[in-house]
Amino acid sequence: MILLALLVLLVLLLISVPVAATLIALGLFLDEFFSPFPLVRAMGDVLWSASDSFLLIAIPLFILLGEILVRTGIAKGTYRALESWLSWLPGGLLHANIGTATLFSATSGSSVATAATIGTVAIPQGKEMKYDPKLFTGSIAAGGTLGIMIPPSINLIVYGFLTETSIPQLFAAGLLPGLLLAVLFMAGTALLCLWRPSLGGPSTHHSWSERFSGLKHLVPVLTLFGIVVGSIYAGWATPTEAASLGVIGALLIALFMRKLSLGIIVEALDGTMRTTGMIMLIIIASYFLNFVLASTGVTRELAGFLESAGLGPYSTLMLVIVLYIVLGFFIETLSLMVITIPIVAPIVIALGFDPVWFGILLILLIEMALITPPVGLNLYVVQGVRQGGPFNDVMLGALPYVGFMFLMAIVLILFPSVAMYLPNLLRG
């Protein structure tokens, strides 16, 4: 039954059936042929219970926060400031791409928004300065993945919601690995460009006065990060309340900078509603599918298979990692999370792994899926912003960063304290 369910899922996705419709259709298919009871009668209750959560309100709020930053052009100033500080390194603007993505990730919570914003700002400058398009676009796609690791993160909220894990703990756990991954990206980029300078572009140097004068452009992003994350860990706000504070802060900053208009607000709200509708439909549909999977025994079959395999905890973990890597080639990342987490997470946690630590490892695997073809979402986002040129350039340019993510996954497994240091401090 497991193989048949996976086959039906892949077929529906390959013929471009929308993800939410695919999940509902698969649930109805399994209910019709494998369930002794008409589970469809419970659909209303399941769909309502999936959407009736105060925590999920944080998702549209964080999306709106990112939309405001994109529409008001705050990211452009951030890029210029980091360019003056980082573009002297081997690879030049590639480091500004990654650095800006890191800062923008600390406010947007979305990898797609991060990749789209940095791509819009950076790609015209890269073309003007004759950068090799492969590694340049690859660095933007990979830098965008940091949006789901560095808090606040919409994907971490989804993981916490599905596994009933503390969101503040997850946010704390994602900070150090996210920053370390950004440093690894930059170090790897510098080494690649030292080995083959043609992969990068010209390094530029700026005066100290230019660098220090540009720091004012970092203030909005750092202020919003302080408002959102600081209010959570100070105990002043829940993640949902912190997201609303972030939106208010973004509006006030944009108003102070005279970049806010009615048209921008309408565009931001429109983009927020579209993205939120997509995400919530997928979450709700996945809840129905997971209800059917549990009711028809698929969950028990998978758990029984793993138990009968006689594998130890780390061997089972390796099998789970391989499963996510393979599925990440074919299934969109949010869909992959909501389909698999209710099945896989209980098995991994029962083996003795910390749910917070596993959440960070899982997000790292999801980051890989964002830049691996054929459905790596960030690859398509960057190619769309690029408006021309072969798609192979973006795919090839992102490959080195997939390798860096593998290295980071090994670090997380060998040294769990990288992810658990800050959560353990919070636990006291």
SS3 274: helix
Q: What is the pTM of this model?
A: 0.83
Which amino acid is residue 199, in one-letter code?
A: L
Location of structure tokens 């083996």: 351
Q: What span, in angstroms and rounded, lies between the C-alpha atoms of 108 and 102?
A: 10
Length of the chain: 428
Q: Rg of the chain's alpha carbons, rounded to an integer?
A: 22
* pLDDT given for residue 428 in this prediction: 63
- Chunked into runs of 10 residues, the chain (428 residues) has average pLDDT values of 66 69 77 66 68 75 81 79 83 87 78 78 83 89 87 87 89 93 94 86 78 84 86 82 89 88 89 79 75 71 69 86 84 78 86 94 91 79 79 87 94 94 83
- Residue 387 CB burial class (10 angstroms; 0-12, 13-18, ≥19): exposed
Q: Residue ranges of the domains in the chain?
A: 12-427
* pLDDT given for residue 260 in this prediction: 85
Which of these, 226, 255, 213, 258, lies nearest to 80 by C-alpha position?
213
Contacts of 30 (CB under 8 A, 6+ apart): 1, 5, 292, 293, 296, 298
* pLDDT given for residue 417 in this prediction: 94
DSSP H or E stretch at residue 134: helix 133-144
